[in-house]
Amino acid sequence: MGIKVFIAQPRGFCAGVTRAIDAVTASIEKFGAPVYVRKQLVHNNSVIDALSASGAIFVDEIDHLPEGATVILSAHGVGPEVYENARRRRLNVIDATCPLVTKVHIEAARYAREGRPIVIVGHREHEEVIGTLGYASADTSVVADIAAVEQLELPAGAAPAVITQTTLAVDDTRDTIEALRRRFPAVITPAHDDICYATQNRQAAVRELARSAELILVIGAANSSNSNRLREVAQAAGVRAYLIADLSELQTEWLDGVGIVGVTAGASTPEHLVAEVVSYLRSHHDASVEAIEVTRENVTFSPPAPVTRFKRSRPTKAVAKQSASGVPAEVTVNAAVAEEGVLDG
């Protein structure tokens, strides 16, 4: 008797990641190799290696790039000083910042203009938060959890404005914001949740996997915030879960005595890495595979200027029907979905 595999849908690439990857490949096609990419475009080494092989050069900073070089800014976003540095150096900038991160930058700049103290819920060392701090006021605080909120020092009666990193765990973020409300009753929160649709959808899918699975495998990079949050969401639901970069990190003993395995992938994980894990489970554990679908994503983001033409083998899939809270109103199990070849025999 083989094991049962439930695979999450949605999983893997979000629209922002697809937009960023397409920006690099289209830039190489349009301007010729090499093109430079500041920092990791997205947090996945498989993606970085593939783009490097096609003519992208990844750099930590742009200070030493040749004048006139093409440079792509990562999906995580950057602060204003990076744009100014690029302008001074007369670089050809392709801005691949995720539009949902740009929305957070706009919020931070607005609150800074209003002179409000700002609290960013997120991880200070993450590239997205570093970029957002560039738009915020000088007295901005960063808190990662409830414990950090309790230690936050703001003037009595302060009315801080709250923004959040887009890739956080939904439940943990909600609890942290509630703690801020208790300490600062006049706190101002965004009209719409800063946590992006893809993060929310993938976490909702993991919660549904956790209703049946005895083990959940999250495929994603160790430095991927949204992938780490998927593992944590699974564990919070009481299911043993592991984050693996690819099939090579799967330890066979994890599967001992397990009858049902859940599989998902972070928003920067290419589908072929998922397919390799599922193929292994089929061939070595006689696995049957079903999709658990919580919502269908069906949105694309416009390409960044000045890139206007993209090469895609198939349409990008992204956001779609959600309830007003951002969590799907209905969860369905679909055993007949053949998504990206993973469910094909």
β-pairing verdict for 240-244 and 260-265: unpaired
In a domain, 206, yes or no: yes
Query: Number of folded domains in the chain?
Result: 3
Residue 156 is predicted with a pLDDT of: 79
Query: pTM of the entire structure?
Result: 0.86
For β-strands 118-121 and 161-164, DSSP reports them as parallel
> Does 188 reside within a domain?
no
Selection from 204, 292, 255, 280 nearest residue 6 by Cα: 292
Mean per-residue pLDDT of the chain: 88
- Residue 152 CB coordination number (10 Å): 17
**Domain presence at residue 104:** yes
Cis-peptide, bond into residue 10, ω within 30° of zero: yes
Structure tokens at 216: 């959940």
Say if 138 falls within a structural domain.
yes
Domain finish residue from 183, 210, 241: 183
Clarify whether residues 293 and 239 are in a common domain: yes
Owner of token pair 């992208």: 56
- Least Cα distance to 189 among 112, 136, 105, 120 occurs for 120
Evaluate if residue 300 carries a pLDDT over 70.
Answer: yes
- Residue 330 inside a domain? The answer is yes
Same domain, 161 and 291: no
Together in a domain, 212 and 274: yes
For residues 297 and 318, give the distance between their C-alpha atoms in angstroms, rounded to a whole number: 4
Q: What sign results for the dihedral spanned by CA atoms 43, 46, 48, 51?
A: negative
Residue 257 inside a domain? The answer is yes
How large is the average pLDDT for residues 1-10?
94
Mean of pLDDT values over 61-79: 95
CATH at 140: 3.40.1010.20
- 330 a catalytic residue: no
For 155, the domain range is 100-183
Q: Which of 97, 113, 146 is the last residue in one of the domains? A: 97
Q: Which of 107, 127, 128, 293 is catalytic?
A: 128
- Domain membership of residue 235 (yes or no) is yes
Q: Are residues 164 and 229 in the same domain?
A: no
Distance spanning both ends of the chain, measured CA to CA: 18
Per-residue pLDDT, 192 = 67
